[in-house]
């Protein structure tokens, strides 16, 4: 078979885009499930007339939704950036470690929200404000991590 010039480079770029898509789809899926769980928490708080945290919960849900859509809507591979980038093994390893950490952050957020939902289902409303602040911080950290991911990608040799 005759080799096609540049074909291997094309394959590598497509694999990078595919890896980026997989990571972001995973994080987005976790965030969607977290948002759904947070909506159930909101409903339980509303049903129990725990009014002092309702506005905070509304903002928290909106923030989580905004971050989830940011992850979902960003162009895969950052809009052709991978076309001209050369990623060596050490940089690729760095990106993989970073992606794993970002996925772990999304998973821990989901677990925290699930625990909160379980507590609310058992009528444990007393810590709702503190939990809300902790969840808000976690969502902010995840957003910063996602924004910094582009910096890591752009930090490789062009």
Of the two residues 4 and 127, the one the predictor is more confident about is: 127
25 domain-assigned: yes
2 domain-assigned: no
Exposure letters 11-26 (e unless 16+ CB within 10 A, then b): eebeebbebbeebbeb
24 domain-assigned: yes
Place of tokens 């699930």: 114
Can you give the pTM of this predicted structure?
Answer: 0.78
38 token code pair = 């947070």
Q: What angle do CA 103, 97, 116 make, to 5 degrees?
A: 25
Residue pLDDT, tens place only, 66-113: 999 998 887 655 444 444 555 566 666 777 778 888 899 999 999 999
Residue pLDDT, tens place only, 32-47: 999 999 999 999 999 9
70 domain-assigned: yes
- Return the number of other C-beta atoms located less than 10 Å from residue 70's C-beta: 14
């Amino acid at each position: 078979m005759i080799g096609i010039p540049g074909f291997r480079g094309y394959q590598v770029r497509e694999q990078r885009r595919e890896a980026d898509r997989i990571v972001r789809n995973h994080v987005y899926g976790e965030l969607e499930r977290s948002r759904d769980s947070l909506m159930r928490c909101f409903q339980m708080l509303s049903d129990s007339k725990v009014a002092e945290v309702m506005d905070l919960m509304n903002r928290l849900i909106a923030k989580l939704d905004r971050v989830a859509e940011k992850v979902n809507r960003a162009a895969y591979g950052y809009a052709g950036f991978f076309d001209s980038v050369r990623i060596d093994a050490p940089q690729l390893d760095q990106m993989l470690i970073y992606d794993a950490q970002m996925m772990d952050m999304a998973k821990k957020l989901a677990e925290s929200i699930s625990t909160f939902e379980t507590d609310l289902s058992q009528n444990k409303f007393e810590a709702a404000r503190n939990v809300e602040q902790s969840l808000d911080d976690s969502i902010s950290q995840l957003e910063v991590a996602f924004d910094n991911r582009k910096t890591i990608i752009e930090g490789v040799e062009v």
